[in-house]
Amino acid sequence: MSIDLKEYHAQLDELDPRVRGTLEASFHEAARVMSPQGLHNWLEGARGLSQLGRGNELVITYIQAMPAVVKQVGEDVLKDCIVSAMKLASMVSGEVIQLMFDTLPTAAQRLGDAELLRGYLGLVHQLSAKAPRGLRPMLGHLDELFAKLTLGGLRRWALWGAQAHLRDFPA
């Protein structure tokens, strides 16, 4: 079973021309690192994100970032990443979700394991519930944080910060 981008012609017509162009440009790279099922999941993820209505930049970032993530930790995380983004959609802005996808290749490279990446996605979701305004600065410095901390260290640091924020600024 192989996936041809032409099979998704009807769904691609629904996308913005910039998104469609990015998808066509990224398809060959994705096809090198993903199985046909992985490509299908990747394309369905792009379609799902476009239906969120959070902007084209979010979808473009997802399309560009996920092949690098798959190359590092495997394609099993594709669905986990989409589910995580859908959960975040009700708690944070599209820009924060875009930033999460933008930093996922860094996280995947530093963590190097699908289970650890799932743990990282869980941490992002947990922080979005406790201190959503803290996600943007953390994601903005993720490369530096992963250079100094393990996932467990990042979790302790972030949760401590969220707890301190709750004590300092009463709701």
**How many CA within 13 A on the CB side of residue 12?**
15
3-state secondary structure of 171: coil
pLDDT score, position 9 = 63
d(CA 23, CA 30): 10
* Structural domain boundaries enclosing 42: 5-168
66's CB contacts (< 8 A; 6+ apart) are 30, 42, 45, 78, 81, 101, 104
pLDDT in tens, 101-160: 999 999 999 999 999 999 999 999 999 999 888 899 999 999 999 999 999 999 999 999
1's CB contacts (< 8 A; 6+ apart) are 36, 37
pLDDT score, position 13 = 67
Contact 121, 128 (CB under 8 A): no
Burial class of residue 149 (count of CB atoms within 10 Å of its CB; 0-12, 13-18, 19+): middle
- How many domains is the chain partitioned into structurally? 1
Query: How much is the pTM?
Result: 0.88
> What average pLDDT does the segment 66-84 reach?
96
